[in-house]
Amino acid sequence: MAVEEQRAGSRVSRPEIRLVRRGFTDPAQAVRLLAGPGLEGLADDPVLLDALGATADPDLALLGLGRLLEAADEPDRHTLRDTLTTSKPLRDRLLGVLGASTALADHLARHPHDWHALVTFELRDMHPGPDDFLRALHQGVWESGAGNRADALRVAYRRCLLAIAARDLTGTTDLAQTAAELADLAGATLQTALDIAAEQDEAAARACRLAVIGMGKCGGRELNYVSDVDVIFVAEPQEGVDEHEALKAATRLAAALTRLCADTTGEGTIWPVDANLRPEGRNGPLVRTLASHQAYYQRWAKTWEFQALLKARPVAGDAELGAAYLAALEPMVWQAAARENFVADVQQMRRRVVDSIPPTELDRQLKLGPGGLRDVEFSVQLLQLVHGRTDPALRSGNTLEALAALSRGGYVGRADAASLDAAYRFLRSLEHRIQLHRLRRTHLMPTRAEDLRRLARSLAPLINDDTRADPVAALQREWKRHAVEVRRLHEKLFYRPLLDAVAELPPGAAGLTADAARARLEALGYADPAAALRHLTALASGVSRKAAIQRTLLPVLLGWFADSADPDAGLLNFRQVSDALGRTPWYLRLLRDESAAAEQLARVLSAGRLAPDLLLRAPEAVAMLGDPHGMVPRGRAALEQEILAAVGRADSAGAAVAAARSVRRRELFRTAAADVLGRFGDDPAEALDTAGEALTALNAATLQGALRACIAGWEARNGGLPTRIAVIAMGRFGGHELGYGSDADVLFVHEPLLGSLEHDAAKAAQAVCHELRSLLAAPSTEPPLEVDADLRPEGRNGPLVRTLASYTAYYRRWSHAWESQALLRAEPVAGDADLGARFRQLIDPLRYPGTGVPERDVVEIRRIKARIEAERLPRGADPTTHTKIGRGGLADVEWTVQLLQLQHGHELPGLRTTRTRAALAAAVEGGLVGAEDAAVLDAAWVLASRVRSAVMLVRGRPGDSFPGDARELAGVARYLGYGAGHSGELVDDYRRTTRRARAVVERLFYG
């Protein structure tokens, strides 16, 4: 049994079952109505019953038809019955209206003869315009013989509305045509109301010229069935009339017009006339002269007022004055985007609208809620106001027309424009059907099942799902689908930073001439404007869609590049990336459409050399910038899985390591770009830790893949590997504190397999580890990974790889204090996990000695540290700014913490960590260091580490001191959060911070 039959219940008669199958939900009442006055004899007419069943609400349609037939006089009733049974067009129109609108059914019950308005629905009358409506209204008001002009206007208005609704509900007009007809009818109604007011106050009509300017949806010819009609009144005195008197007369006419449309007496309200968009709003005078309007908008108008004027259109009154109003104010509209904070103001206004919605209505709001109509309208209007300054094709007050123009001009992608168009049409159609039911102004989705069912049946042609099984569920799914899409595109278009920058450009900058470009490039700080202009010419010349999009982007990108420390490098890098990807369909679409992708790319390309160099080796990595999760570094497990899979597909060790290095290069770009863009948080210490963890995981996964590749290569040449190998991270690698320029400090340990000769095992391990280091550092398009094994026993003079037993013997007999100190940051990262764990067990007693470190070793460690300070500082280096071994730098802090670990690690478990900051925190918790001293040391270590990372990001090569080049130093300062021109402040802050740290080191380390 169908859902409708189940809903109606099982105890129904055969006639009732036939009605249920046609969509009736109250078949018993339908049977009674069909047997009642006016409908007798129609119960057996299958054509009529099928037509009723095709309406949005068959029960409502039948009830309305019964009321209409009962109200009609005898001759008219017979005419209507005959026409219903013989004319399908009339039947569909009339029943369509009655099944969707109780308000229009009420009108027909009061004025039954008005159904004839549907009979004259011939081809030439399919799409009436303003003049047609005006003639119909004038005929209804002055030729009907009615004494009450106001009621006659309301009746004539509803008669016209009936015809519009019939065209809408039968699919003869689409959403855009229906909305335009409603706006034209509103304009004709305002004109008729003004004519009535002039008839009633002839003195006022003689004293002034009054124009009515349609605003909002009325001005844009996209009106709802029930909506406030927004207007602005402008007046001028007739010749010889005092301006003050003329304005008083115009105000009387405007007030009378408003009352005629809005009063609720007699036939009810047409709609409220809202003049609150006028200068000063409801506190300002209702009517102003044209000069007064101009003065206000030139001096006092706010951003939203210019946005509102975008839809201004003369709709009634003095046509010449209305045209003059538009000519005077329209140029101001298209300069509004040049106002300071224009885009931010508009965006903030939209957020205020959303915030003002009661929480109980938020999920039901079709207009104001997230994903609603206002999201589409605001997005389109903002794009118009920003780009319409230089492109007159965008200057339409109609949302759908403007959206189409934005798509044609390349400002909105074709697919996005199509999605917005479809969503807007669906949401407006849904809003129309809701309002049409009772002709009430509402934008809320109903909650009653019968209302939702009527809407779903009415909108079935617009719903992708099959609505027959469960129309309400299908409607809900379609609504949510469009709302989600609108919200996605709204965020993408409305908040994209491109708009902010375009809006702030001086007039004319969006269409750069050669001379203007050179002057502007110099003003923006480009060191070589001639070269920059060549890049611009190469990027933006031609008539292709690609060139058009570049011309839209470039004025904005130039500003972003200029806001960096090296604008020339940013523009050059952008050209190189564009040359590499310009023929790729997604590239320019990404920059134009995706949220902040263009700004992110600009910031990455102009922030230094490392990230652009990595990107230019594989420009397709730009796609990460458009991915919401693209700037999130991947974890060790995911990296290792990808690298091992790539290694497994290669046919040689060289190819396998090259594949691993390729993954590393891409992920290194991801991490560097995220760091430059501030994606690791606002706390500098947390950001540093996040980057260190990401780089450590990346290098560890790369080593794991390279080791697997080299072992496989050895086995392909020689058979099974006779030993197992583990890689132990040391230094900053073991401490998860890697910077962008850090080497990978490691120890290699192996253990011969049972039955293997130690000599053969050592030879194999040596070959594998040597090949691993060579392949990872070999010249290539991929960045090298230098694997440094100099911290091994006996340093460079000792064997590259030792057995676990050899390490045991060495550390038992020959180990020095500095080697125990170096082992504090040893951690297995690759190779045989069991062997790595046993190596850790071997070294734990050395780095956390049970009785603490002997005093002689403390003296030795202090002596070595002093010697390094005296001998290792590069010639000419400033000890106050050298981040590694300078005063209060990394070595000072790390040696201080490591000494505490050697002395107290056996008694404080928190000190048994390879991480410097974690060990320092544990020392505070254990009472070894005061919190204030620890904070000073931590701040110095974090700042020195960040400076080293910044130097690598900016210069593309590692360095331990501040750059000498002013532009590079400015880049380092920008990375560290200092504004333009504040590089000296950074250096001063660094010296102050490290000076305080050195004082703590003198007390804690040197005693």
How do residues 555-588 score in pLDDT, each as one tens digit? Answer: 777 778 877 888 899 999 998 888 888 777 788 7
**Residues linked to residue 316 through DSSP beta bridges, in sequence order:** 212
C-alpha closest to that of 659 among 605, 700, 702: 702
Instruction: Render pLDDT for 693-741 as a digit per residue (tens, 0 to 9).
Output: 999 999 999 999 999 999 999 999 999 999 999 999 999 999 999 999 8
Q: Structure tokens of 734? A: 């073991």
Q: Structure tokens of 842? A: 């071997």
C-alpha closest to that of 10 among 27, 22, 23: 27
**Residues linked to residue 725 through DSSP beta bridges, in sequence order:** 750
The CA angle 534-540-545, to the nearest 5 degrees, is: 160
DSSP 307-346: HHHTT-EEEEE-HHHHHHHHHHHHHHHTTGGGSTTHHHHH
Q: Structure tokens of 620? A: 């397709």
Residues in the chain: 1007
Distance CA 980, CA 606 (A): 14
Return the percentage of the chain with pLDDT > 90, whole number.
62
Amino acid identity of residue 119, one-letter, is V
pLDDT of 519 reads 56
**Residues linked to residue 748 through DSSP beta bridges, in sequence order:** 727, 801
Q: Structure tokens of 330? A: 């329209």
Distance CA 139, CA 155 (A): 11
The CA angle 409-413-418, to the nearest 5 degrees, is: 105
Assess contact for 782 and 658: CB atoms under 8 A.
Answer: yes
C-alpha closest to that of 352 among 303, 282, 298, 284: 303
Tell me, what DSSP letter sits at residue 524? H
pLDDT of 62 reads 94
Q: Structure tokens of 761? A: 């095992």
- In sequence order, the 6+-apart residues with CB closer than 8 A to the CB of 226 are 271, 435, 439, 440, 441, 442
What is the number of other CB atoms lying within 10 angstroms of the CB of residue 226? 22
pLDDT of 745 reads 95
Distance CA 743, CA 715 (A): 28
Q: Is residue 347 very low, low, confident or very high in pLDDT (cuts 50, 70, 90)?
A: low
pTM here? 0.62
Assess contact for 333 and 348: CB atoms under 8 A.
Answer: no
Cα–chain center distance at 570: 24
Q: Is the pLDDT of residue 291 over 50?
A: yes
Cα–chain center distance at 844: 51
Assess contact for 976 and 986: CB atoms under 8 A.
Answer: yes
pLDDT of 516 reads 54
What three-state secondary structure class fits 747? strand
Q: Is residue 341 very low, low, confident or very high in pLDDT (cuts 50, 70, 90)?
A: low
Assess contact for 647 and 704: CB atoms under 8 A.
Answer: no
Distance CA 188, CA 133 (A): 6
pLDDT of 344 reads 61
pLDDT of 501 reads 45
Phi/psi of residue 444, nearest 5 degrees: -100, 135
pLDDT of 836 reads 96
> Of 43-52, 945-954, 986-995, which gets the smallest average pLDDT?
43-52
Distance CA 263, CA 250 (A): 20
pLDDT of 504 reads 54
pLDDT of 3 reads 45
**Residues linked to residue 231 through DSSP beta bridges, in sequence order:** 214
Assess contact for 733 and 696: CB atoms under 8 A.
Answer: yes
Assess contact for 92 and 56: CB atoms under 8 A.
Answer: no
Return the percentage of the chain with pLDDT > 70, whole number.
93
Mean pLDDT of the chain, nearest integer = 88
pLDDT of 598 reads 84
C-alpha closest to that of 585 among 799, 747, 760, 415: 415
Instruction: Render pLDDT for 664-675 as a digit per residue (tens, 0 to 9).
Output: 999 999 999 999
> Of 260-269, 391-400, 514-523, which gets the smallest average pLDDT?
514-523
277 to 159, 233, 291: CA distances (angstroms): 30, 10, 17
Over range 295-322, report the average pLDDT: 94
Distance CA 730, CA 727 (A): 10
Over range 166-178, report the average pLDDT: 93
What three-state secondary structure class fits 401? helix
Q: Is the pLDDT of residue 448 over 80?
A: yes
Q: Where does residue 37 rank: exposed (0-12), middle (13-18), buried (19+ CB within 10 A)?
A: exposed
pLDDT of 550 reads 78
Tell me, what DSSP letter sits at residue 367? S
Q: Tell which wins on pLDDT, 353 or 878.
A: 878
Assess contact for 553 and 591: CB atoms under 8 A.
Answer: yes
Distance CA 758, CA 240 (A): 118
- Mode of pairing for the β-strands spanning 273-274 and 744-752: unpaired
DSSP 256-304: HHHHHHH--STT--S--EE-TTSTTGGGS-SEE-HHHHHHHHHHT--HH
pLDDT of 5 reads 47
DSSP 155-180: HHHHHHHHHHHHHHHTTSS-HHHHHH
What is the number of other CB atoms lying within 10 angstroms of the CB of residue 250? 28
> Of 297-311, 694-708, 932-946, which gets the smallest average pLDDT?
297-311
Over range 285-306, report the average pLDDT: 94
Distance CA 149, CA 521 (A): 66
Q: Is the pLDDT of residue 932 over 90?
A: yes
Instruction: Render pLDDT for 513-545 as a digit per residue (tens, 0 to 9).
Output: 566 556 556 656 788 888 888 887 788 777 677
pLDDT of 4 reads 46
Q: Is the pLDDT of residue 214 over 70?
A: yes
- In sequence order, the 6+-apart residues with CB closer than 8 A to the CB of 81 are 42, 69
Q: Structure tokens of 322? A: 């209305």
Distance CA 586, CA 576 (A): 17
DSSP 953-973: HHHSS--SS--SSHHHHHHHH
Q: Is the pLDDT of residue 123 over 50?
A: no
Instruction: Render pLDDT for 762-777 as a digit per residue (tens, 0 to 9).
Output: 999 999 999 999 999 9
